[in-house]
Structure 1
Amino acid sequence: MDIPHQRLVYFQVTIEAGSVRQAAARLDIAPSAVSRQLTLIEAALGAPLLERSRNGVVPTAVGEMLLEYCRKRSALDDTFSEELDAYQRLETGHLSLTVGEGFVGDLIDTPLRNFTECYRGVRLDVDTGSTSEIIDAVVEDEAHIGLMYHERVHPRLRFWHSSRQPLVALMSPTHCLANEQNALSLPILSEHPLALWRTGHGVRQLVDDGFREAGLRHQVSMQTNSLSVLKHAVRSELTLTLLPAFAAARELEDGLLVARNVDCERFRQAQAHIITRVGRRMPRAGLQLLRHLERWMRAFNSRTEAGINASRS
């Protein structure tokens, strides 16, 4: 059934008013215009819609069905308007993020908690993944936003925001290198066992590239796909690891770990990125979340580096 909405309005007002003349008065148009529209509806349906009674016009059986349809359609229109209004006020919606595991603590500790308090009706889905999985999720529209470390060029990625976050050496406060005041050299680090991400992870690729360019081999005593395993291994004094400082911000603040800069230009230039897909129209809640992450995450401001320097004292 393809009947213009305004034509259905004329029909519904006629039933509610009780006559074509009164309907015309309510609509502020000529009675002949109302009659013409009703005739067009009857022609489309192949059945009469109105019959006269002592109290005016009343709907026929087909008219009753059409009236019920009009009321349901009107209710759907009202519901849609209310939902759209709530969505535009950021009271409802759904956002998905795929992030590197190192971002999780930084993401949830303050930014997401504050965001969800402000926008309680917006549902957030947060998944973790490798750099390749993050890129795939964003490019294939499985995630609105991605957070990744160590840039990988892709023609369909928009780098919404990037921040320099050097790769640093993380270790127990009792590790033999913990009191070193100068940046640690790669030759020194090559003499110590390392716990690292598995091959294929963005951070692991950065570490491997740095040592290879220096003509050195690192001692990998442990590799894992878990950030928790890396940090526990370091805290237990079994080894040290190489991560951006924001990935262990809580442990650094609590004094459970210390961070030392590394004398490697590739490590110093590493960046954290907020990415979206080129051309994707972001919902209003998504734009608010992007700005929220830029403002509040350690990974995207300078406080992390300040924290590293403070950990030296």
Structure 2
Amino acid sequence: MDIPHQRLVYFQVTVEAGSVRQAAARLDIAPSAVSRQLSLIEEALGAPLLERSRQGVVPTPVGDMLLDYCRRRAALDDAFSEELDAYQRLETGHLSLTVGEGFVGDLLDTPLRTFTEHYRGVRLDVNTGSTNAIIEAVVQDEAHIGLMYHERVHPQLRFWHSSRQPLMALMSPSHPLADTQGDLPLAWIADHPMALWRTGHGVRQLVDEGFRDAGLRPQLSMQTNSLSVLLHAARSDLTLTLLPAFAAARELEDGRLVARGVDCDRFRQAHAYIVTRVGRRMPRAGLQLLRHLERWMRAFNSRAHRLPPSA
């Protein structure tokens, strides 16, 4: 049924007013204009809509059906307006993030908790993945936002924000290199067993590039796809690992691990990135979350890469 909305308004007002003349007065138009619009509806439906009674005009059976339609349509319009208003106030919505595992602790400690407390109607889906998986999720619109470490150029990625987050040597306070002053030469690190991400991970790619540039090979004792395994291995005296400091913020703060800088330009220039797909229109809640992450995550704080005072 293709009847203009304003024409339906004339019909509903006429029924509620009880006469064409009263409806015209409410609408501030001529009675002939109201009659003309009613005739056009009857012509479109092929049935009369109104009949006269002692109380004025009343709807016919078809008129009753149309009146019910008008009221249900008005209720849907009101419901949509309320939903849209709630969405624009960031009270409802759905956002999906795909992030490197190293971001998870940083993400959940404060940023997402405070965001969800403030915007309780916004549902968040958080998934983890490798750098390639993050890029694919963002490019394929499976994720509104991606958090990744070590830049991977892609024509469909928009880099919203970045922060320098050097790759650090993380180890137990009792590790032989823990008390060394200044940045550690790669040659020293190469003499000690290391636990590293599996090949293909963004951090592992950066590690391999740094050692290759220096003409060295890391002494790999363990590789894994789990951040938890890397941190547990680093807390032992047997191995050290290479990660950005934000990935082990809790362990560094409570003293279970220490971080040492590494004398490697590639490691020093590494960055953390917030990415979205080029051309994707972000919902208002998504824009608010982007600003929230930039402000509250250690990974995007310009001071986050500084070593603890004990270093």
TM class by shorter chain equals over 0.9
Deviation for aligned residue 1:146: 0.5
Report the counterpart of residue 128 of structure 2 in structure 1.
128
Report the counterpart of residue 161 of structure 1 in structure 2.
161
Instruction: Provide Cα deviations, 1:132-153, integer angstroms capped at 9, x if missing partner.
Output: 1101111111111100000000
Give 4+ residue runs of structure 1 displaced > 2 Å after superposition: none
Are 2:156 and 2:277, in contact at CA under 8 Å, matched by a contact in 1? yes
Are 2:21 and 2:31, in contact at CA under 8 Å, matched by a contact in 1? yes
Are 2:111 and 2:292, in contact at CA under 8 Å, matched by a contact in 1? yes
Deviation for aligned residue 1:238: 2.7
Q: How does 1:76-225 map to 2 (within 5 A)?
A: 76-225=76-225
Q: The residue matched to 1:169 in structure 2 has which SS?
A: strand
Q: The residue matched to 2:282 in structure 1 has which SS?
A: coil
Q: The residue matched to 1:222 in structure 2 has which SS?
A: strand
Q: Which amino acid aligns with 2:115?
A: F
Distance 1:236 1:178 in 2: 12
Deviation for aligned residue 1:16: 0.8
Instruction: Provide Cα deviations, 1:188-237, integer angstroms capped at 9, x if missing partner.
Output: 11111110111100000000111111111111111111101100111122
> How many residue pairs align between the two structures?
311
- Comparing 111-120 with 266-275, greater Cα deviation is found at 111-120
Tell me the C-alpha RMSD between the 2 structures: 0.8
Distance 2:242 2:31 in 1: 81
Distance 1:242 1:108 in 2: 22
Shift in alpha-carbon separation, 1:311–1:147, aligned structure 2, 3 A: farther
**Quick check: 1:21 aligned with 2:21?**
yes
Instruction: Provide Cα deviations, 1:23-57, integer angstroms capped at 9, x if missing partner.
Output: 11111111111111111111111111111111111
Distance 1:311 1:149 in 2: 26
Deviation for aligned residue 1:278: 0.8
Are 2:196 and 2:222, in contact at CA under 8 Å, matched by a contact in 1? yes
Q: How does 1:216-295 map to 2 (within 5 A)?
A: 216-295=216-295
Distance 2:17 2:26 in 1: 8
Q: Where in structure 1 are there 5+ consecutive unaligned residues? A: none
Deviation for aligned residue 1:305: 2.2
Deviation for aligned residue 1:78: 0.2
Deviation for aligned residue 1:302: 2.3
Distance 1:311 1:220 in 2: 28
Instruction: Provide Cα deviations, 1:74-95, integer angstroms capped at 9, x if missing partner.
Output: 0000000001011111111111
Distance 1:28 1:118 in 2: 46
Q: Which amino acid aligns with 1:120?
A: R
Distance 1:54 1:237 in 2: 98
Q: Which amino acid aligns with 1:187?
A: A
Q: Where in structure 2 are there 5+ consecutive unaligned residues? A: none
Under a length normalisation based on structure 1, what TM-score does the superposition of the two structures give? 0.98
